[in-house]
Structure 1
Amino acid sequence: MDRAIDDPGEALNPPPPMETLPGADSVASARQALVSDGAHVMAAAATKSCLGAESGAWERFAAHWETLSPDTYASERGTRRLRRYGQFSFVPATGEVNLLPQAPFVQPESSNPLYVSVDRVFEPLTSSFAADPVLHAVLRLLGRLASALDEPTVWNAKVHPFRVVASGDAYGLPTPEGRHRDGVTLVSSLLVGRRNAAGGESSVYDLDGRKLLATTLSEPGTLLVGDDRRTLHSVSPVRPVDDERPAYRDALVVTFTPS
């Protein structure tokens, strides 16, 4: 049975109108760009305003990246990456967020060329991560954006906290598969932190290969969203600024697809 993380009383009252929620103008701009262009970058200040995340809450949220586990599938291909994985249901009509039972991560055909139809088993999100109010705020924000693309009764949200590690003799590869789709409706990447890291430029393309957008997520809180049904995305390698110290790029990748 799905486990409701939030107070069940929340489900009794519908969420307030979208235009009255924090960051309404930023959300409206992002929704319009998703529909017209297929991708959008929300500045860090705008994202954090939408989330209502004070500095202390954000620092607590970012600390979850210190407890990620090795991605053995990536290491088989020479990439040092840490991650965890979980999935939630999100009900737009009520704003309800439910943690779903842990299951293997499988990407559909015509998406990621490295792992199509491969069952990958990752360590689950820690209970404190799964219950973090900032994560719930992120899911609700993404739900506001995803509704510009589709309006299902329930969304399935797959949550992937990533840390890509680079060193002087081994660049980090956020997307070792190159340009790809995730086989979902909305795909997003939220920068949580960077340390001693250069590179890591995010690019979004249309299905004909024309570049729609290129940006380096450099300020924590910057959010890149895309309509995954009609775009491809990739991230360039990460390298250390100082070769004597490791480089980290911490990001939260969340996808939304109708449940």
Structure 2
Amino acid sequence: MTDLASFTRQLTDPGVCLIPADETARQLGTGPEQWAAFDRHWDELLPDPYLRSSGTVRLRRYGHMGLRRSGEWRSRPHDAFVQPGNTNPLYIGEERHFAPLTEAFAADPVLARLLSLLAEAAAVLADPPEWTVKIHPFRIVATAGRSGEPTPEGVHRDGVTLVSSLLVDRRNAVGGESAVYHPDGTPLFSTVLEQPGTLLLGDDRSTLHEVSAVWPRATGQPAHRDVLVITLAEP
């Protein structure tokens, strides 16, 4: 198995790393059947009511956990989500209330293995006794007449230590470029997450990020992009 450190050392310089899908699968020990079962949780997401006038169809849920350096985790009471580091003034300090993760999602072994992997990755940035973890499964839907905006808030940071984006599924979609920037806004890294299982990690303290619009490849059919965003913050 490839040493995870060969990827995560890039979190300290330049502040972002990309783990290919096949390597993520090796690290998580997942096969096609487990991944397909994990993917089905995205069919149970609910509409995001906080998109104002953007017109984007975004489905999501939200979970809050504590994660120890050993990879052990515990659920925390469901609460309002606040994104303190957002650089868009419309979102700073705003409380947003989302439906919790389903019991099946929270208990999925793929999620447990992913949390353990992220705890190991984040240890190169900081080593608190327990991380504060926020879990956000997203589905962005696009049609011929309406794009899907994964980050309608624009270029921002989340106000955490580690931010991760795991591509879970992508159907009939073009666009959706993940871009990472230096704090002054100059480009640092960009990629399109194409293959399910691709994992993008960033040091949120030293970078900004956004994702461009998604459009249908075949205009007669809808498109969607399923991503799991997990953030780790020091208490």
**TM-score computed with the length of structure 2 as normaliser:** 0.97
Inter-partner Cα distance in structure 2 for 1:196 and 1:43: 21
| Deviation per residue, 1:82-132 (Å, 9 max, x gap) | 00000111111x321111110000111554543111110000000000010
CA distance in 1, matches of 2:133, 2:22: 24
Distance in 2 of aligned mates of 1:226 and 1:147: 13
Do 2:85 and 2:160's aligned partners in 1 also have CA atoms closer than 8 Å?
Answer: no
Partner of 2:50: 73
- Tell me which stretches of 4 or more aligned residues in structure 1 moved more than 3 Å: 109-114
CA RMSD in angstroms comes to 1.2
Alignment partner of 2:84 out of 91, 95, 108: 108
What is the distance in 2 between the residues matched to 1:178 and 1:243? 25
| From 144, 149, 153, the counterpart of 1:173 | 149
2:116, 2:71 → 1: CA distance? Answer: 7
Deviation at 1:242, TM superposition (A): 1.0
Instruction: Map residues 41-120 of structure 1 onto 2, 5 A cutoff.
Output: 41-74=18-51, 76-92=53-69, 94-109=70-85, 111-120=87-96
Whether 2:136 is the aligned partner of 1:154: answer: no
Paired amino acid for 1:230: S
More helix by share: 1
Shift of 1:172: 0.4
Deviation of 1:30 (Å):
2.1
The match for 1:31 is: 8
What amino acid maps onto 1:213 in structure 2?
Answer: F
**1:220-239, Cα deviation, whole Å (9 max, x unpaired):** 00000000001000111000
Deviations 1:21-71 (A, max 9, x none): xx451x112221001110011000001111111111111000000000000
Is residue 213 of structure 1 aligned with residue 189 of structure 2?
yes
Q: Unaligned regions of 5+ residues in structure 1, if any?
A: 1-22
Shift of 1:140: 0.7
Q: Report the Cα offset of residue 148 of structure 1.
A: 0.3
CA contact (8 A) 1:112 1:181 kept: no
Partner Cα distance (1:112, 1:84) in 2: 22
Distance, in Å, in 2 between the alignment partners of 1:30 and 1:209 is 24
**Paired residue secondary structure (1:202):** strand
The amino acid across from 1:151 in the alignment is D
CA contact (8 A) 2:81 2:96 kept: yes
Structure 2 unaligned blocks of 5 or more: none
Structure 1 residue corresponding to 2:116, chosen from 132, 140, 150? 140
Q: Residues 113 and 180 of structure 1 are in contact (CA less than 8 Å); yes or no, is this contact kept in structure 2?
A: no
